[in-house]
């Protein structure tokens, strides 16, 4: 516990939302994540950067136990959200995922209407007691997803008919609809054009007031633009974690420096 306090102090004075201790992940025979320790603050944007295959997405999927859905994947270690162990028997991954929303690399709206896409989460979790309440939840989520004005007149049309950027914002709104505390974003802009990327980045900036946002990204510029904290992963290790400014201007680890300056990656 002492050890934990010490690191917390390093990370300034915001509340800690997620703590991870000695997290190891194995994919079959490959050791994908090696002894990762990290504390993620509430209401900030934390960026995971690193070369592809470094394990940043895998680590992200540990946080909402999405790795459970893959047969060959084994997760070891202690991950706590608000101090509660997410691998505890009393925690159901189904409810955990309602608290920890996730947005994927490729926009993946369901082949259903825009309304049904947003209402999917609230419906399965039974969050609305009436149609009016559900309407309210949908509208609120779409507004927060910064897409309400674009789709309010065509809520019954298919979500797959939207443009790529709109689809991704729809997916963000869908993740918000269950009122999560944490939003995980797995390279949310890699399939989008620059204009759509700018819109999504703007949205992420908005969101960090209410949520702690963790974003995995390939693009260092993006990490610099949207995040307050940055973690650098390399070959399954968390090499360096700190304020974004510090990581980009004064990296402590030579590996981080090499990556930032473009020598590995």
| Binding to another protein in span 218-257, by CB under 8 A | none
| Binding to another protein in span 116-145, by CB under 8 A | 120-121, 124-127
CB of 180 to another protein, least distance (A): 8
Closer to another protein by CB, 40 or 220: give it.
Answer: 40
Closer to another protein by CB, 94 or 195: give it.
Answer: 94
Residues 153 and 187: beta-carbon distance below 8 Å: no
Q: Which residue of 56, 169, 174, 234 would you call a contact of another protein, by CB under 8 A?
A: 174
CB of 76 to another protein, least distance (A): 21
Closer to another protein by CB, 181 or 205: give it.
Answer: 181
| Binding to another protein in span 182-221, by CB under 8 A | 210-211
Closer to another protein by CB, 171 or 247: give it.
Answer: 171
* 53 Cβ contact list (under 8 Å, min separation 6): none
CB of 260 to another protein, least distance (A): 31
Q: How many CA atoms lie within 13 A of 136 on its CB side?
A: 8
Closer to another protein by CB, 49 or 103: give it.
Answer: 103
Closer to another protein by CB, 29 or 153: give it.
Answer: 29
| Binding to another protein in span 59-118, by CB under 8 A | 64, 66, 69, 71, 81-82, 84, 91-92, 94-99, 101-102, 104, 106, 108, 110-112
Task: From residue 49, give the alpha-carbon distance in Å to each of 53, 154, 221, 248.
Answer: 11, 37, 11, 11
Closer to another protein by CB, 91 or 235: give it.
Answer: 91
By CB under 8 A, how many residues form the interface with another protein?
Answer: 38
Kindly give the interhelix angle for 164-176 and 131-144, rounded to the nearest 10 degrees.
Answer: 130
Q: Which residues bind another protein (CB under 8 A)?
A: 42, 64, 66, 69, 71, 81-82, 84, 91-92, 94-99, 101-102, 104, 106, 108, 110-112, 120-121, 124-127, 171, 174-175, 178-179, 181, 210-211
């Amino acid at each position: 516990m002492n050890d934990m306090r010490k690191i917390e102090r390093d990370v300034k004075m915001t509340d800690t939302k997620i703590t991870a201790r000695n997290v190891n992940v194995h994919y079959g025979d490959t050791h994908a994540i090696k002894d990762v320790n990290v504390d993620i603050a509430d209401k900030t944007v934390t960026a995971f950067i690193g070369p592809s295959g470094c394990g940043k997405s895998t680590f992200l999927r540990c946080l909402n136990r999405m790795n459970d859905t893959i047969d060959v994947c084994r997760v070891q270690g202690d991950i706590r959200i608000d101090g509660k162990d997410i691998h505890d028997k009393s925690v159901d991954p189904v409810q955990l995922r309602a608290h920890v929303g996730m947005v994927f690399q490729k926009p993946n709206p369901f082949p259903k209407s825009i309304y049904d896409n947003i209402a999917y989460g609230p419906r399965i979790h039974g969050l609305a007691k009436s149609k009016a309440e559900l309407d309210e939840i949908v509208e609120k989520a779409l507004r927060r997803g910064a897409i309400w004005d674009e789709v309010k007149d065509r809520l019954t049309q298919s979500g797959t008919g939207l443009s790529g950027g709109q689809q991704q914002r729809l997916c963000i709104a869908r993740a918000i609809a269950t009122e999560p505390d944490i939003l995980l974003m797995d390279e949310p802009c890699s399939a989008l054009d620059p204009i759509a990327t700018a819109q999504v980045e703007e949205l992420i900036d908005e969101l960090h007031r209410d949520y702690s946002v963790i974003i995995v990204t390939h693009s260092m510029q993006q990490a610099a633009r949207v995040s307050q904290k940055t973690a650098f992963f390399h070959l399954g290790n968390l090499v360096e974690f700190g304020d974004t400014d510090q990581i980009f201007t004064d990296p402590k680890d030579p590996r981080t420096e090499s990556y930032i300056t473009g020598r590995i990656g």
